Every structure is written in C-alpha cells, then in structure tokens.
C-alpha cells in the first residue's frame, strides 16, 4: 500500500498536479508500427550535428573571403550643363554633351596574418564538427539497432505472456480457489498459487513497461513523434 501511494505521488509530480486521482481500466499496448520502415533521416541528433557542420563550413568560407583582395569597379554616365573651364578656357556645354567614366579600386586586408590565424582556427572547428557528426551517426546507428532488437524481443515476450503465461496463471488461480473451497488444499497452498499468479502478472507488466520505454526512445531517436 505504501509503494502504491509513493508511485501515485511520483506520478503527481511528473504530471504537475496537486490533487488526488486514481487509475482504472486496463493497460493498453502502444500501437505497433513497422520498425523496418523507420530510418534516422529525421533524427534530431543527426540534424543538429549536420547543422553544426554547415555552420562551421559557412564560417570558414566567410573568413576565407575576408582574406581576399576587394576589387571595386564603378561606372558613371552623366550630363553637365553650363560653363566649364577646360585647360584655362571657358566652354559651354548643353544637354547634348554626355560624360562617361569608370572607377577601379583594389583593397588589400591590412591584418592578413591575424585573419590567417582566425581562418586556421575555424578550419580546426570545422574538422571537429565533422568528426562529431561522424560519431553521432555511428552512435545513433548503434542505438537504433539495439532498440530495434530489444523491441522485437519485448514483443515476443509480451505475446508469450498474453497467449500462454497469463491464461495459465488465471486457470491456476481458478483451480486453486475451487480446490481450497472443496477442502482439497490448505490456505498455504492457495497463497502459494496466488503468489505464482501475481509473479506472472508482474513479469508481464515489467515486459510491457520495457516495451513501451523502448518504443518511446526509438521514436525520439528517429524523430517519429
């Protein structure tokens, strides 16, 4: 009874409620889904690692571009109306005269060596990000396979309990009650048989809990919420 009260209290904390409640009904198994159709394409961990690599690559490209000379080119085409002094002589220009010109400039980075060190640092960070992405891909792949195999094993265990163990335990309970009522067994044997049935039910619930936990972990790993 104390364990049950403690479990209810922990559930209250997880749900963020401060009132009493009770659980009723049966425990349903989470809907089965095809594990073979799942992939890690939508894995949040993989997406994050890929985004980190892309961000590092862009930062490296930006810093490399800053180290290049800045070539500037300008072109103008305009009309000057009025008197202009050309080589010491005043000349009048009307709207029919147009003047064209170009401007060309070259800017070289002043702090070249500082930028070089910064670029090398960014390249190192990019290599680290790529290695982390590779490690994430390997880790998620291993975890995916472990969860997949564990779910298949859990499902086989649950099927066994539902098809054989639970019905057998229920029959044992019914037969024990009849035998005790008829005086064929004593209370100690009745209690022993009842405990065996409870052990089977507890093992089934633990298998069901493990199965649900693995499914939730796999959904989180693959991004299938």
Same domain, 200 and 147: yes
Same domain, 190 and 211: yes
Q: Domain ends where: 51, 80, 108?
A: 108
Q: Domain ends where: 54, 81, 108?
A: 108
Closest CA relative to residue 137, chosen from 47, 214, 20: 47
Write down the H helix ranges in the chain: 2-15, 44-66, 112-160, 166-181, 187-222
Same domain, 15 and 114: yes
Same domain, 211 and 160: yes
Q: Per residue in 147-164, pLDDT tens? A: 999 999 999 999 999 999
Separation of alpha carbons 190 and 43, rounded Å: 52
Same domain, 152 and 60: yes
Total structural domains in the chain?
Answer: 2
Closest CA relative to residue 214, chosen from 151, 155, 138: 151
Q: Specify whether the CB–CB gap between 91 and 83 falls below 8 A.
A: yes
Domain that includes residue 8, residue range = 2-68+109-222
Max Cα–Cα distance, the chain, nearest Å: 139
DSSP per residue, 140-166: HHHHHHHHHHHHHHHHHHHHHIIIIIH
Same domain, 90 and 187: no
Q: Per residue in 1-27, pLDDT tens? A: 677 778 778 877 877 777 777 766 566
pTM: 0.65
Same domain, 40 and 123: yes
Report the chain's mean pLDDT, rounded to a whole number.
81
Q: Domain ends where: 53, 87, 108?
A: 108
Closest CA relative to residue 201, chosen from 26, 22, 4: 26
Structure tokens at 186: 């004593």
Neighbours of 197 (CB within 10 A): 19
Q: Per residue in 170-214, pLDDT tens? A: 999 999 999 989 888 889 998 999 999 999 999 999 999 899 899
Same domain, 34 and 103: no
Same domain, 191 and 133: yes
Q: What is the pLDDT of residue 107?
A: 62
Same domain, 52 and 82: no
Between 180 and 33, where is the model more confident?
180
Same domain, 87 and 14: no
Q: Which of 87-96, 135-144, 197-206 has the lowest mean pLDDT?
A: 87-96
Q: Provide the percentage of residues in the chain whose pLDDT is more than 90.
A: 27
Distances (CA, A) of 165 to 125, 156, 204: 56, 12, 9
Same domain, 151 and 186: yes
Structure tokens at 177: 């009650």
């Amino acid at each position: 009874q104390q364990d049950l009260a403690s479990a209810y209290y922990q559930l209250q904390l997880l749900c963020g409620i401060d009132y009493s409640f009770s659980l009723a009904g049966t425990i349903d198994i989470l809907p089965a889904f095809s594990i073979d159709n799942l992939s890690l394409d939508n894995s949040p961990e993989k997406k994050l690692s890929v985004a980190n690599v892309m961000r590092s690559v862009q930062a490296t490209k930006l810093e490399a571009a800053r180290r290049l000379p800045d070539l500037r080119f300008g072109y103008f085409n305009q009309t000057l109306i009025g008197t202009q002094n050309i080589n010491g002589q005043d000349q009048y220009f009307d709207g029919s005269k147009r003047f064209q010109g170009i401007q060309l400039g070259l800017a070289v980075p002043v702090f070249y060596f500082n930028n070089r060190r910064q670029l090398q640092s960014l390249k190192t960070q990019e290599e680290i990000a790529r290695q982390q992405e590779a490690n994430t891909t390997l880790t998620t792949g291993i975890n995916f396979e472990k969860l997949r195999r564990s779910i298949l094993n859990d499902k086989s265990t649950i099927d066994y309990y539902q098809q054989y163990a639970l019905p057998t335990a229920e029959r044992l309970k019914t037969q024990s009650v009849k035998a005790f009522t008829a005086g064929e067994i004593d209370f100690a044997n009745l209690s022993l048989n009842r405990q065996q049935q409870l052990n089977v039910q507890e093992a089934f619930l633990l298998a069901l809990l493990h199965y649900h936990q693995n499914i939730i972990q796999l959904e989180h790993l693959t991004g299938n919420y």
